[in-house]
Structure 1
Amino acid sequence: MKMKRKMIPVDIYDIPAMQSYLSDMAAEGLFLKRIATYGHFEEGEPKRVLYRLEPLMREEEKPREDQLDAYKAYGWDYVCTIRNGFHIYSTEDKDFRELHTDPMTQSYAFSHLEKKLKLSSRIYLISVPLLAVLILLPVFHQEQPILYAVRYGNGSYQVMMLILYAFLYYQIHTSRKKLKLLQDGLEKGEELPRKRVYHKSYAPYVINGILGLFGVIMIFNSFLLLTRGWEKNLAEISEPIPMIQLTDIEQKEGFIKDQDGYRDEEIRYDWTELAPVIYELHQSGEVKGEMWADGSGTYSPSLSSEYYEVRFAFLGKRLVKELMEDTLEFYRYRPIQHQELFIEGVDDAILVKSEDTQMFFGRIGKSVLYVRYHGYEDLSAHLDEIYDTLRNYQKEKM
């Protein structure tokens, strides 16, 4: 016989609806053989078949032999078992006898399953807020949460788990309510409804499919995180980068770039879910024959730059603010000069100076740039070059 796999469009814990659905399938010539994620039906001639779901009283994969014999005598054949849920029986006998005739006794069969659902419901109810706290705490525990999230935030996996747990809680809670309603009726002496008008719903399959797709995306995302980031020497880079270099500022005769420093000419590329493009550049050098004013050694200027292209425009302004807060914390005991600039076509531009260190914080749209220069040249004289570099990089990407 040919087998056919179908989605189950009713809640298995809505017993009357499930029984009615299986009988309707039999009337169409599809006879249940087993249920896992999907229902597996054997095709045949349409006929009238009744089904009954019997809640499990203990953990078992199949009814006991004495139980099978007793139900067989009533006219019922064993079909299959839904794991940790029900045994399913069917009959074509017109003179069948119901498996249970005493509602109070039948209610005991529901107690074991209802308690399991109650426990599962409570576990997921606790897990959802706990997982939400675990996701949000590392971000909001930081003094600069946006900066932290942009630099390190790859929380899709945790968010997917949160959605999954919330959905599972909703499913279990809804199923438990249906089961509890039936159990309460039985305890009052009301007979279990044999049939019910039901509405087909494939929402659980759709949501699980979305979560499955999300999981595939996350695996791909994790692969990208491992493979797309890199660190190189600046000399190896041929594509344009959105930042000026130390040689654009230090143009004195005798200036040479440091060839041996660990951080010299090191450019790093990375990305996160909130910032698909992140660059960091560190350069240093020295001017032969020139000393620092305090006599501490050979004059050795340095330049560090950070570029972020955020995914959402609203993050840009807050990122500039938090970059400043994070950077200036180091200079809190030093004199600081702060100047906000208003430049056409530039959304934010702030120049900060503290002794021999000058910093620029700027934003054009979704592009945020932080430059820290330590040396004696005037960084403000190179602002036009910084703006042009940003604009040209944006044009190159279009």
Structure 2
Amino acid sequence: MKTKKKILWLDLWQIAEQEAWLSDMAAKGWELSKMNRLTAHFKKAAPQTVTFKTDIFKEPINQNPDQLEQYEQAGWKYIASRGPLHFFRNNPDSSVKDIHTDPIHQAETINLLKRTLKVRAYGILLISLIGIALAVFMLTLDPVRNYLNDEFLFPVIQIFIFVGINFIILKGLIHLNKLIKILQSNKRIQPATDYQKKYLLNMIIGLSVIAFLAVVFIYELSKSGNTPLAKSFPPIPKEELPVVKMEDFTDKSFKEPFSYEEKINRDNFYFVSSSILVPEQYELNQLVEVEGEKWEDGSVPYRPSLTSRQYIVLNEFLAKRLLQDLIDREKEFKSGEATLNNSTAFDELVVLENSILSRKDHIIYYVTYYGKEPIEKIIDAMELKITEKKQRS
């Protein structure tokens, strides 16, 4: 026997719409066999003109045998349940059009669904507040990683999901209130002739959310291998780089850099990455040994180190925020105050111990150097880089 399973895109409280949809499926030759909160199962049958109606019980359907018997005698057959909603189908030859003879009584049953939904709403609201607070905490934990590693994505998605769930529940409570008011005025709920629009709208929203989450998951999965460790520390290219190199501000002759293991150099690599907010990220790490030279305290050998970065941010506003977050992070690990520098090549330039942080428009240069060369020479090299970039563009 041919069967079909369909996702229930209609919300639990869209009662008339679900009834109309199931009746329409029966008219197309698909007879409802069972359902749960998310899916409805159908089996192929002869097309029938039948009416589906619902009743709402707090207890499971099998705990209401007397009620079921009354419905059977009135010509209504129980088919399936979706949580507290229990669906009945009339006999195709029956003239009975409604399972409820009294609108006031039906209002009481819908009010039962409303109370159940309201209790769940309080619990979900409490969980949402805790979840949103944790998401906000995650966003403030390391602001720099939000820019460079897209770590803002999941907390922001988490906030939107919690807000969306509460909005949907609120929408459901408002919808049930309207139904109850109609029934309490001794009127019947009219069949939903426009259920297709609501079904289609819910399906589009649902599929869009699923597609968005899938894209985010694939994007994060693709970035999981985009780290220096995963790439075995990519070697430094011979060509010109967008970041400042040690050779740009020193004329020392360097010896072969020290490696921890064959083909993997943890101190000398060039790494290119990207993120949503910072589409272009370049990082150079160098640790070299200078032939025959010692540190100022006489210790040997003299091994200066450099970490040089360039971040091309999405726009100038975000670049200003990222630069300030980088400065704040540097202050956490270093003593002393940041020194402002009146460089004409940059819009902002700050020196903090061994680190130089600068910004020109939406481009950030961030250099950390441990060695004998003066800071001024590194700033000159950074200014040269920004001048060359201007000329190329």
TM-score, length of structure 1 as denominator length:
0.76
For 1:319, the equivalent position in structure 2 comes to 322
CA distance change for structure 1 residues 179 and 89 in 2, over 3 Å: closer, same or farther?
farther
Distance 2:235 2:100 in 1: 83
Matches within 5 A, 1:288-367: 288-295=291-298, 299-328=302-331, 330-333=333-336, 338-343=340-345, 347-348=346-347, 350=349, 352=351, 354=353, 357=354, 359-367=355-363
Say which SS state the counterpart of residue 138 (structure 1) adopts: helix
Secondary structure at the counterpart of residue 130 of structure 2? helix
- Corresponding position of 2:373: 377
Task: Give the whole-Å Cα distance in 2 for the aligned partners of 1:167 and 1:287.
Answer: 60
C-alpha distance in 1, partners of 2:185/2:21? 25
CA distance in 1, matches of 2:363, 2:57: 60
- 1:240–1:393 Cα contact (<8 Å) kept: no
Secondary structure of 1:227's match?
Answer: coil
CA distance in 2, matches of 1:322, 1:46: 66
* Paired residue type of 2:135: I
| Contact map agreement 1:160 1:211 (CA 8 A) in 2 | no
Q: CA deviation at 1:38?
A: 5.8
The 1:150/1:98 distance shift into structure 2, 3 A limit, reads closer
Q: TM-score, normalised by structure 2?
A: 0.77
Gaps of 5+ in 1: none
1:214 maps to 212
Give secondary structure in 2 for the equivalent of 1:229.
Answer: coil
- Match in the other structure for 2:58: 57
- Deviations along 1:339-398, one digit per CA (max 9) or x if unpaired, are 22122xxx53526375xx4x43233454322112233334544556545556778999x9
Distance 2:372 2:272 in 1: 29
- Whether the aligned pair in 1 keeps the contact of 2:330 and 2:352 (CA below 8 Å) is no
What is the aligned counterpart of 1:283 among 267, 277, 286? 286
Tell me how far apart the structure 2 counterparts of residues 126 and 267 of structure 1 sit (CA, whole Å).
47
Corresponding residue of 2:173: 176
Q: Aligned partners of 1:137, 1:316: CA distance in 2, in Å?
A: 22
Is the Cα–Cα contact under 8 Å of residues 160 and 214 in structure 1 kept in the other structure?
no
1:41 Cα offset (Å): 6.0
Task: Classify 1:79/1:337 alpha carbon distance in 2 versus 1 (closer, same or farther; 3 Å).
Answer: closer
Check if 1:78 corresponds to 2:63. no
Q: Deviations over 1:3-55 (max 9, x none)?
A: 67777776552434444555566567666555564666667776643221111
- State the shift of 1:220 in Å: 1.0
Conserved 8 A contact 1:269-1:280: yes
1:92 matched to 2:71? The reply is no
What secondary structure sits across from 1:322 in the alignment? helix
Contact 1:340 1:351 in 2 (8 A): no
Q: 2:191 aligns with which of 192, 195, 212?
A: 195
Q: Count residues with an aligned counterpart.
A: 384
Asked whether the equivalents of residues 103 and 187 of structure 2 are also in contact (C-alpha less than 8 Å), the reply is: yes
CA gap 1:309/1:164 in 2 versus in 1, 3 angstroms: same
Of stretches 208-217 and 220-229 in structure 1, the one that deviates more from structure 2 is: 220-229
In structure 2, the CA distance between the partners of 1:95 and 1:138, relative to structure 1 (3 Å rule), is closer
Amino acid paired to 1:160: I
Contact 2:310-2:363 within 8 A present in 1 as well: yes
C-alpha separation in 2, matches of 1:235 and 1:94: 81
Sort the Cα spacing of 1:102 and 1:281 in 2 relative to 1 into closer, same or farther, 3 A. Answer: same
Residues 109-128 of structure 1 aligned to structure 2 (within 5 Å): 109-128=109-128
Q: Among 153, 156, 162, which residue is 1:156 paired with? A: 153
User: For residues 263 and 249 of structure 1, do their structure 2 counterparts lie closer, same or farther at Cα, with a shift above 3 Å needed?
Assistant: farther
- Looking at structure 2, the residues matched to 340 and 329 of structure 1 have their Cα atoms a distance apart, in angstroms, of 24
Aligned to 1:264: 267
**SS of residue in 2 equivalent to 1:305:** strand
- Compared CA separation, residues 297 and 138, structure 1 to 2 (3 A): same
Partners of 1:342 and 1:86 lie apart in 2 by 75
1:294 Cα deviation after fit:
4.8
Alpha-carbon distance between aligned partners in 1 of 2:344 and 2:193, rounded to the nearest angstrom: 68
Instruction: Give the aligned CA root-mean-square deviation in angstroms.
Output: 4.1
Further displaced range: 273-282 or 380-389: 380-389
SS at match of 2:52: strand
Measured in 2, the distance between the counterparts of 1:280 and 1:364 equals: 18
Point out the more displaced range, 49-58 or 93-102. Answer: 93-102
